[in-house]
Structure 1
């Protein structure tokens, strides 16, 4: 018996050329390479240059994903972009990308769930494809987090970087257990003060700066992410031993290790790019996934577990068979 399943047809990613090392940051704030590595696992991050925006990073990642899938913009009828750093208040970054790649049909819109954004966007696109409203989708996670950082705040400026990752999804006839198997989304607005920005168009007429209570976020991340993944795996009859690759949100190496240990996932199955990319928010999951696909670790048929936690607080997980 066949069903409509959402297949990952291609993936792509893009990073700005400018690399900012820990040693460079140490010249600006009271920190050091050793301090940052010990607490976060981060060695460097990529920073968008003048003229580079979330839309331009997204476009580059999208074109690479289309090339990987052997498709063009004419084959796509949906774009969902996960970002918390859009080029403009409106129109959406997704519509900017639609114009940039020459897609003249379908629909395009943004999803805002901060670091959890790609998992949220994946869930939305999967639903629209499965119900037949759309046929093929570009799902993109992209951020220029450097634009909302206080570069004098060592607690946050060392953590984040810029980048974009994209998937091409398509609805196909297939057997259950293929493609996107399921997503699990949660949020708790009572925890807003743990991770937020100090402004917004309606309240301060500016974006403000990112602020975070790091220790509290760490504790919620380990507990909530673990619960989201355990629940999702149980819903589909899997355990940690069944997972071929764990592709987490690249927030902090210690969080990655703590969550993997809690779920019984072997360290060798964890895809970690945090050392080279830092936390790229909604871009981090598709970025890490694409790195592992391109270097040959993730192969067709592999079962992959994704997760993320971001401001809101929002969190979620996804199971996909690549």
Structure 2
């Protein structure tokens, strides 16, 4: 039995925040921090993004509420009633609370009936874990309709109060590179898809041909981290091993960090996965009509293009579809945002092939998915 994406939706909080207003919105640390932020913005190319906190640090949002907003948007565009949903898979980098799982919280917020749930926690690739889980449930005949939703609330970690009186913030008000880049790159929101055992009766659906996801944690140490304290030799200790919560906070355990040098070392591995799929006959580069590649920064895209061109597996850039520059890097929500925006764009035609690529820097994961555009019987 095949699985089809029949509807999609998103929830982006507030109005878009442009680069000029960004420092005021997430909070100012120092002039030097802002200079480094402007450099990060030139590297990532993002021009606007959404935040679930206002400029005073206040919010009514949670990750679960953002995800529930995306669910509502999906169901507004779906042909079926919420009572027919049998499975909910959620994806995020960090849940609102430690227990229970995000899927339970989203279920409670969304008004869905009793159903099967699955919570996926990683970074960007958790979206593909959720999507694959939903697709397999449909293909196995366990359920006829399933939801896969990704949601993020990264900005809650970027307010000045999360750095004050910690070892991360230097005396002159600057942050190390691994903390500063994410502060100017990540944003908030949610998106997701409805997966069914048949195409939608009207309009276009996406037949899921296959999803491939592989971890390379056997080759790489953690690259993007949260909840850990780094020792002088780079070893990571869980926050819960600190003598006190205050000690863990002082040592920066509750901040998001990313090793930029390690990130660039992962690029050849991510590309190698595409080359493997080409060699196995699962991807024919010339037959890809749309390439939905999630990337966190314009500079990384440029490096990916360079490597793919040299390797002979480059998909022409006119076939790339991205919304990074207008909507920012929304982590686990970003792949679903790409799918939703492409479906809404009016640029799809039946028979076209879509290749999704989702690299994750958490501890090196690479996911690809191939889909075919199909038209319902009207």
Q: How would you bin the TM-score normalised by the shorter chain?
A: 0.7 to 0.9
**Mapped pair 1:321 → 2:372:** yes
Which position in structure 2 is the counterpart of 1:137? 146
2:304 match: secondary structure: helix
Which position in structure 2 is the counterpart of 1:186? 214
1:126 match: secondary structure: helix
What is the count of residue pairs matched by the alignment?
A: 314
Which position in structure 1 is the counterpart of 2:39? 35
Change (3 A) 1:244 1:209: same
**Mapped pair 1:291 → 2:341:** yes
The Cα offsets for residues 27-47 of structure 1, whole Å up to 9 and x where unpaired, read as: 632327762343111122211
Q: Is the 8 A contact 1:113 1:120 kept in 2?
A: no
Q: Is the 8 A contact 1:250 1:284 kept in 2?
A: no
Change (3 A) 1:15 1:266: same
Which position in structure 2 is the counterpart of 1:255? 300
Which position in structure 2 is the counterpart of 1:16? 13
- Please report how far the alpha carbon of residue 299 of structure 1 lies from its aligned counterpart in structure 2 after TM superposition: 4.1
**Mapped pair 1:60 → 2:106:** no
Q: Tell me how large the CA RMSD over aligned residues is.
A: 2.4
Change (3 A) 1:89 1:18: farther
Q: Tell me which structure has the larger Cα radius of gyration.
A: 2
**Mapped pair 1:212 → 2:258:** yes
**Mapped pair 1:243 → 2:288:** yes
Which position in structure 1 is the counterpart of 2:102? 93
TM-score by length of 2: 0.76
Q: Is the 8 A contact 2:225 2:257 kept in 1?
A: yes
The Cα offsets for residues 228-287 of structure 1, whole Å up to 9 and x where unpaired, read as: 233335445432221111112231123234435613211111111111222111111111
2:50 match: secondary structure: strand
Structure 2 Cα separation of the partners of residues 21 and 36 of structure 1: 14
1:115 match: secondary structure: coil
2:114 match: secondary structure: coil
User: Mean Cα displacement is larger for which, 130-139 or 290-299?
Assistant: 290-299
Structure 1 Cα separation of the partners of residues 112 and 34 of structure 2: 47
Gaps of 5+ in 1: none
Change (3 A) 1:63 1:193: same
2:222 match: secondary structure: helix
Gaps of 5+ in 2: 54-58, 161-174, 200-205, 229-237, 374-378
Structure 2 Cα separation of the partners of residues 301 and 90 of structure 1: 44
